[in-house]
Structure 1
């Protein structure tokens, strides 16, 4: 029998001392649970992903010191094996580093396995820093078992369609009793189920039990959901760790079957995880908490317009950070309706969030007067509309600088896609919570929050009102944009395409096919495509957004600014 402790921890990039302390605490728990080995996530020593920190000699020196500290600590429990992820030096031509899995025991490195498949797609760019490992399986006898080791992407190519090398084939040839995979697998909608499908198929094909240990926590725009699991060849996924939280748990493996540490059967694992809206809610909140904490913020500020986007941002921030740590600022101008202020007051009362009123009419008037005095013509049209947004953005940044709050932007994916936002105005801030939510999903998540809380957390008047930037009299979003259900269908195909789920892709394709039947519809599709491509310069200047979907703006979608999109 083999006892394995899965250490699903929230590592911080660059915090070598903090990460090693977490590992040492988890190893103590593993020792107390009489485990044979304790397994940590990919690059657990330095956190995933360090990016160009890996080019800094001082950073690599700190990693080496952290590794030596871990090796010294392993002597406290000499029979316990530690499976650790770390950057290591590579020999010969190519990149200077490997992305490695190290097995430590009693002050020694007993095994080193270097990741073979280095992803360079979507948000990943590992080939920038690492050299692929050799096409060889690494197996180590621990107790009565032969244990094989893989790192994340190495386990995703068992179909043989993405890379010429299939590490699972080589691992199966080595005939281990169990495979341990360490991972930093980012979370997006449907990713959990995809992991289960891929690794269950590999376990079944090769007749190998698998232990999959994943990182948890938010890192910049990426969130890792944990959800580590164990797979049996015939039964599939038989154990799953908590999602969106740290957990250290011990399993035992005997004759190819997993059991809890006390020998009891694990709880059944649901085929489907959270609902889409529950997933969005959990992912955004963990992403915000970790982003704020790691950047040194304890409080947040949001510009509250009385509209649905700022309402949802405030509600999510209040849940994540606590309502006492969130401030809302409403900034009415001469254009603002009385309902905007009233709805803001009602919302903040429901959330328990402090609301500050800061009228901007006087500032806008002063800017307009000075513009004409300096440049000899009145400020009007779009420039005047955007001025209001930029004054609001300035007020929010003044508050952030003065009181130390993290400013949260409120733009959604639909608006960011087509440039329906003002640079240096409503795009100001440090993080966007809704930037990977289409507008139709914003409405749906608001309704979900109300239902989950059993009350109108977000007043129905806000959900029902026609969306408006309120930068011109009587303005609504529909004056400039197609209806959001149509817009979002077009954007999903243009941005995500075949990365969508089958159902979402089919629904979006049917909508666009319908539009293509009329001249007006074809013109609408062409306009949206032009707006999307013409707004790259804006998106390159906006804050990071928390990634929720397979393709998010930021590192997950890299398009040029100064280019000819000839297919428009």
Structure 2
């Protein structure tokens, strides 16, 4: 009689390139799985290297280290007799085409029991797998483990069951092999609404083929991309019957008997809620994890932010304080002759509420000295846009001085609305190592500030900051609406122009309706054309800006690759 079949979902946070560290994480999870009597422990896609290694895959020494790491893992499987480890790794190949494949390897008792190469290689949006990998053959791979026939897929292979995106459907091919259980390993990046999309897609595929499945996802931040975890198990009749927590590592052992999932002891699983995270809570958790991992992996423990007294810097400071602790966040206020007393006072109250240090470094005299030098050298006064941009650049220089002197990571504070239309100063407020809110539209910045206050049950971010009219305060009486349409109008147009069909649900319906309203009038069409031109002509700024954490379906960076020197006449 076969022992009870248990499967451990190891939702880990690997670091790209840290082969030794990733092996340690996998070994610890496997030991736990073994102690809980599991037959199978499943790790995420490319768990050995972390996803995505990029052009490290072109380095021979890196690939040698991957092979050494695979040998280490193979040896470690002897410490867990009978337990099958499902590991994601690149493997070399000898044939025409790309020299590597994105593979799943099943190992047990010091031997490789199965290899499977990913068939569908995403090369769109933020993905570029065809750059390095050759697709695997159109074959199903099934392995008998503990009396169960287990079939295997890798991420994108399971996303084409509707047949819309690729000519090949690996899920259908696997269903023909009639496994008892499907295991899919994943590195599925997180964005607004993605958790619900995954559930719906795999629930539909499981029901169509009448196949139970487990979906194991990576978690953690890697450069701009964040992986949210939320690994799950699907019953063909009941849908998602188990879901791991999001935005954190998690190791869970499930039972699987007579085609049904149970807990490790064979008891019925608690009911899974069908409600994904609300948007503002999703944004909060995504940004906090993204900053935490980015700072840690880049060797920073502290950050610095320019505190203008405005809403963007306030939100950035609040999120940084949550991610790293207020003792590791420094704000610097840099008033000029155009700064209102209220802005400085608001910065003081904000930083007091957050419990972090605020330093004042006025720039009035520095700007005046630049003005004198400019007029002496060029026989013209320093004024207008040149003077406005100079103030931003002086502030950016001071922030970089502090970063260099004290080892803090500088966080830039631009939001998606302003970055889209170039309402920012290159080498000024675009300075920094990471942007936390660069994928949030301005209207979402307001909403997230209110959410943080509601969640805290007090004013973390003073209402005076939230309620004040947005202004760069670089000229007398300046307001954002002097240069831009009201943010609700601007954001609706930007969402349609930048994200379009990638928007989901109610947001998509609202944006389409509002965009159509503008298209129906001469003034509205002129406004749309103006915003299109602003987006296009500021591509050069975005190309030089720091990376921003991806929150939505289409973010600036690798997810939107547009030429700089081009004519946009559409």
TM-score (norm 2): 0.99
For 1:322-379, what per-residue CA distance to the aligned partner results, in whole angstroms no more than 9, with x for missing partners? 0000000000001101011000001001000100000001111111111122222222
SS at match of 1:266: coil
Which of 33, 45, 49 aligns to 2:52? It is 49
1:117 maps to which residue? 120
Comparing 519-528 with 547-556, greater Cα deviation is found at 519-528
Where in structure 2 are the equivalents of 1:459-474 lying within 5 Å? 459-474=462-477
Residue 512 of structure 1: how far off its partner (Å): 1.9
Tell me whether 1:356 sits opposite 2:356 in the alignment.
no
Which of 164, 168, 183 aligns to 1:165? It is 168
1:9 maps to which residue? 12
For 1:431-485, what per-residue CA distance to the aligned partner results, in whole angstroms no more than 9, with x for missing partners? 0000000000000000000000000110000000000011101001000000000
**Aligned-partner Cα distance in 2 for 1:136–1:565:** 44
2:210 maps to which residue? 207
Which of 334, 338, 345 aligns to 2:341? It is 338
Which of 61, 80, 85 aligns to 2:83? It is 80
**Aligned-partner Cα distance in 2 for 1:190–1:536:** 27
For 1:288-314, what per-residue CA distance to the aligned partner results, in whole angstroms no more than 9, with x for missing partners? 000000000000000000000000000
1:186 maps to which residue? 189
Which of 146, 150, 154 aligns to 1:151? It is 154
**Aligned-partner Cα distance in 2 for 1:265–1:368:** 74
For 1:81-113, what per-residue CA distance to the aligned partner results, in whole angstroms no more than 9, with x for missing partners? 000000001221000000000001111111000
For 1:166-204, what per-residue CA distance to the aligned partner results, in whole angstroms no more than 9, with x for missing partners? 001110111100000000000001101100111111111
**Aligned-partner Cα distance in 2 for 1:387–1:452:** 38
1:542 maps to which residue? 545
Tell me whether 1:503 sits opposite 2:506 in the alignment.
yes
Which of 408, 428, 439 aligns to 2:442? It is 439
Residue 380 of structure 1: how far off its partner (Å): 1.4
**Aligned-partner Cα distance in 1 for 2:323–2:407:** 18
SS at match of 1:12: coil
Residue 78 of structure 1: how far off its partner (Å): 2.1
For 1:131-187, what per-residue CA distance to the aligned partner results, in whole angstroms no more than 9, with x for missing partners? 000000000000110000000000000001100000011101111000000000000
**Aligned-partner Cα distance in 1 for 2:435–2:475:** 25
SS at match of 1:147: strand
Which of 218, 228, 232 aligns to 1:229? It is 232
SS at match of 2:544: coil
2:250 maps to which residue? 247
1:556 maps to which residue? 559
Q: Which runs of 5+ in 2 are unaligned?
A: none
SS at match of 1:180: strand
SS at match of 2:151: strand
Residue 518 of structure 1: how far off its partner (Å): 2.8
Which of 135, 151, 160 aligns to 1:132? It is 135
Tell me whether 1:288 sits opposite 2:291 in the alignment.
yes
SS at match of 1:540: helix
**Aligned-partner Cα distance in 2 for 1:195–1:368:** 56
Which of 421, 428, 431 aligns to 2:431? It is 428
Tell me whether 1:416 sits opposite 2:419 in the alignment.
yes
**Aligned-partner Cα distance in 1 for 2:316–2:533:** 28
Where in structure 2 are the equivalents of 1:393-408 lying within 5 Å? 393-408=396-411
TM-score (norm 1): 0.99
Where in structure 2 are the equivalents of 1:451-490 lying within 5 Å? 451-490=454-493
Residue 516 of structure 1: how far off its partner (Å): 2.5
1:492 maps to which residue? 495
1:67 maps to which residue? 70
2:371 maps to which residue? 368
Residue 208 of structure 1: how far off its partner (Å): 0.4
1:299 maps to which residue? 302
**Aligned-partner Cα distance in 1 for 2:40–2:519:** 59
**Aligned-partner Cα distance in 1 for 2:107–2:520:** 64
SS at match of 2:397: helix
**Aligned-partner Cα distance in 1 for 2:292–2:368:** 38
SS at match of 1:558: coil
Residue 393 of structure 1: how far off its partner (Å): 0.1
**Aligned-partner Cα distance in 2 for 1:104–1:543:** 41
**Aligned-partner Cα distance in 1 for 2:473–2:522:** 31
**Aligned-partner Cα distance in 2 for 1:304–1:376:** 34
Flag as ranges the 4+ runs of structure 1 deviating above 3 A: none
**Aligned-partner Cα distance in 1 for 2:343–2:227:** 37
**Aligned-partner Cα distance in 1 for 2:519–2:125:** 30
1:38 maps to which residue? 41
1:529 maps to which residue? 532
Matched residues, number:
567
For 1:526-561, what per-residue CA distance to the aligned partner results, in whole angstroms no more than 9, with x for missing partners? 111110111100000001111010000000011000
Tell me whether 1:377 sits opposite 2:384 in the alignment.
no
For 1:256-315, what per-residue CA distance to the aligned partner results, in whole angstroms no more than 9, with x for missing partners? 100111222222111121111000000000000000000000000000000000000000
**Aligned-partner Cα distance in 2 for 1:300–1:324:** 10
**Aligned-partner Cα distance in 2 for 1:514–1:500:** 18
Which of 167, 174, 177 aligns to 2:177? It is 174
Q: Which runs of 5+ in 1 are unaligned?
A: none
Cα RMSD for the two superposed structures = 0.7
